[in-house]
Structure 1
């Protein structure tokens, strides 16, 4: 075995070997590549989880604009003072002259809601569900107490309700996120794999063609195929094309000035800050005060609000959002031209950036440019298609599907009669069971075997009781409470709601479990992706195992620091969260490593598909698994993401009661993946040995 370093040192002057400076530079480069394996995923995962937990772990209204109109100015001002006095920081009250003006402000989204007072003792609350379902609920929650306290009769009117084909308003949200993904993802891959494509005269027409292709595809999936988005085709296509082109133009400029680090800045503005500030999933008035400001100029908000304006509000207000995208594209392209001119002046002979990712596949760099470019395009193309089709397809129509609820009565016969009556009107929505034991039903709710228990009145309790479990899933608790309030009303029964495990103030939406679990899963696959691109030599199993093990020990501790002391989303539970996080992160690394052996860096596509695009809808975190298609209920029991989410939920709210089975899920995925990698490496090594010519070697060691 030759000691290369010694040999090069002893080269005579004028020899062909590398110089000491070249060797030192090579060593520094190798060290830098290994450092990148840890630094890049740390920044990407840490940035995303910090941003999401900070913004969305406990949303509460802040300066939410609400208009008030009355039959007289005095009446309107009196109510406005009462509304502001209840919670001055929550609302920004505007008194307007007429009911029509209040309605117009709601429809133009200048206010989140409005209250119109009449001299007949009624108060009408105007909201626009299409402007945000969560925002409408918050408005009602803010204005209802002072209305009732004033002795007024409350009526609610949704001026722009969401349609039945998109009852949660997720169609526009996922469409906007797909457009953002298509805009910022390709540029960084081009820089590493085919930097010649980034020359200005080549990239601008390429980006325009890409925008048309992917923008049309996004519209096709969200509209005609899934039916989640309906609107004027030409306008929706134009918004889609412009959104991708604008984001791609800005990302081109960032790539010019930041190189490979541009992907971090793009992710920061498009995803980490952009998604919360978009006003699509959650009202910006329920987030920290910086987000309404960011909403005015970030591209995710501009694209999403443009789509929303066209789909739900007849195009009202679309001009301002399109202007943001146009200005962003023009300024970014002009700045890119300026940077290119400055670089040419400094170094007229400078060539393209160095290729750092020769091939996206396990084999050598393709000799054919056509094959390489097609592979390059396939990567973001597949990511956009998978994200939009799977996640939007799973979540845009969240209706109960066989949601398990137990009906409890004094006798089994009475419970069965009630179930028979309910099933006539709610067939397929609930899996209704019967019981004559309140304690048994309460135990099933606590153990998450059922979503709720509907207890009929008895001699001991003259009212009906709905036993729920908010910490088991807020979306399913809200659905079952809303439905059985109507059931009790139809039976003319007073209803008492018993929430066995309320969510704490640090997790009012129940999404902390998802974000912590997402951090573990992202940490696991990102370290493989970055290692495969930055330092392929590290992907040898004997080198990667200690890397992934050390990373698995380190990253869950970092995520706990983010979740607890930094954002306050979690209170304690360090050791159990750290322990399960180690297992989850290491397992995900092994799974991604196995996929990397098969597909090279294209392993990102199946890895993200399995872990995120399938995992999130099946996780029971963002949405109840009983409100997604039936296939996701099966996936909930086998995928790593649901195991991670349910482990976090069990640790935070239920004393770790179900962590064991989820650890078994991780163990199976990790063991199978590791055994596959070992077998794959041995088979590949054997084939290489057979293919190598036999060379007679001297036993002498040099």
Structure 2
């Protein structure tokens, strides 16, 4: 009986539920990462086709569209410069420039958007061209920095900002003596989160920029602003989840950002190489939106940022609104009992 009593005292029902929750997170982590990344294959990659003769371009488009497994989503583009601009605008990921007067064509890629995808496009195009007894030369119109191995620095930078966001929010809520937030306390925590976000944005941009590592080119202030937004969005939604569910909210934030968000972010393998589920959710979660935006700032002249910034802003606004609303409703509920 003594051991049973000690066991009940050591393992409370609440602790047991939390352990079960951690085990579930562990298994979901394995499922999500292995499921997303164990067998990357290109699927419907936006791909331009250019030829001086429209009939040649249309024939090439049809041939590419019929490839087994549908690795490409080809579309005829007016000319080489238009194809290049569409790559820089992140509307397509590569383009084949056909020269019907010779036997060598040109492939345009952008390794700054993810070296894994540009490499796959090169291998696939070489194989397609060889079947037609043609050769291809590759031009990288938005090359990744020589200090940015496989274009991963943007992804790791954003993950760092995300980690800072949910850890800071978690610490503020579970630190010794911390209580469920009143509206005033919630406002202070949100203000502190904003300050931390700005400092984290500046720090991250300094580390990856020319000042320290030189891993990423692009606007210092652009990356700083993005870092502040990513950190604040993740921190705000973590505060909101904790206001709604208590300590369980930390696990929910990890589920959202780490378990679902990281493997679907397009870091190691860009979105067109991920399975459909992860490809669908990635752009709508903070790691995916942040990674896309960081690469746009670093390598694509700041193009195609609007959607990602709106997604991050929506998470930030939702987090702030829920945190303040729950705090206000709680105070309103308890006010009569305290009078």
Count of residues in correspondence between the two structures? 330
**CA, structure 1 residues 569+421, in 2 after alignment: closer, same or farther (shift >3 Å)?**
closer
Which residue number corresponds to residue 92 of structure 2?
A: 450
Match of 1:422 in 2: 64
| 1:674 is aligned to 2:323 | no
- Partner Cα separation in structure 1 for residue 221 and residue 85 of structure 2: 27
Aligned residue in 1 for 2:174: 533
Relative to structure 2, which stretch is displaced further, 518-527 or 437-446?
437-446
Q: Mark the CA change 1:376 to 1:553 in structure 2 (over 3 Å): closer, same or farther.
A: same
For 2:79 and 2:281, locate their aligned partners in 1 and report how far apart those are by CA, in whole Å.
Answer: 32
| Post-superposition offset of 1:663 | 2.2
Decide which of 170, 194, 201 is 1:549's aligned counterpart: 194
- Matches of residues 517-666 of structure 1 in structure 2 within 5 Å? 517-535=158-176, 536-537=178-179, 539=181, 540-564=185-209, 565-570=211-216, 573-666=219-312
Runs of 4+ in 1 over 4 A off after TM superposition: 366-369
- Counting only pairs closer than 5 Å after superposition, residues 120-269 of structure 1 correspond to structure 2 as none
Using CA pairs below 8 Å that are at least 6 residues apart, which structure has the higher relative contact order?
Answer: 2
2:147 counterpart residue number: 506
- Secondary structure in 2 matching 1:614: helix
Q: Deviations over 1:418-440 (max 9, x none)?
A: 23333443342211222342222
RMSD of aligned C-alpha atoms? Answer: 2.5
The answer (yes or no) to whether the contact 1:411–1:436 under 8 Å persists in 2 is no
State whether structure 2 residue 131 is matched by structure 1 residue 490.
yes
1:15 is matched with which residue? none
Partner secondary structure for residue 621 of structure 1: coil
In 2, are the aligned partners of 1:524 and 1:586 still within 8 Å (CA)?
yes
Match of 1:384 among 26, 36, 41: 26
Q: Tell me by how many angstroms 1:571 deviates.
A: 5.0
Equivalent-residue separation in structure 2 for 1:395 and 1:558 (angstroms): 30
Quote how far apart the aligned CAs of 1:512 are: 0.4
Show structure 2 runs of 5+ residues with no match.
1-5
Quote the residue 2:79 is aligned against: 437
Contact 1:616 1:622 in 2 (8 A): no
Structure 1 residues without counterparts, runs of 5 or longer: 1-201, 207-365, 696-702
Deviation sequence 1:188-221 (CA, Å, 0-9, x none)? xxxxxxxxxxxxxx9xxx9xxxxxxxxxxxxxxx
Taking the aligned partners of 2:294 and 2:58, their CA distance within structure 1 comes to 36
Output one character per residue of 1:526-553: Cα deviation in whole Å (capped at 9) or x when no partner: 1011222214248530321221122112
SS at match of 2:52: coil
**1:662 Cα deviation (Å)?**
2.4
Distance in 1 separating the partners of 2:270 and 2:30: 19
CA separation in 2, counterparts of 1:560 and 1:443?
27
Whether the 8 Å contact between 2:77 and 2:83 is mirrored in structure 1 is yes
Q: How does 1:104-123 map to 2 (within 5 A)?
A: none
Distance 2:42 2:217 in 1: 32
- 564-573 or 369-378: which moved more? 564-573
| TM superposition shift of 1:483 | 0.6
Select the residue among 475, 485, 494 that pairs with 2:116: 475
The whole-number CA distance in structure 1 between the counterparts of 2:245 and 2:137 is 56
Q: Distance in 1 between matches of 2:126 and 2:218?
A: 36
CA deviation map 1:277-301 (0-9, x unaligned): xxxxxxxxxxxxxxxxxxxxxxxxx
Displacement of 1:456 in angstroms is 1.8
Tell me the secondary structure at the aligned position of residue 428 of structure 1.
Answer: coil
Do the aligned residues in 2 keep the contact of 1:441 with 1:453 (CA within 8 Å)?
Answer: yes
CA, structure 1 residues 408+544, in 2 after alignment: closer, same or farther (shift >3 Å)?
Answer: same
Contact 1:531/1:538 (8 A) holds in 2: no
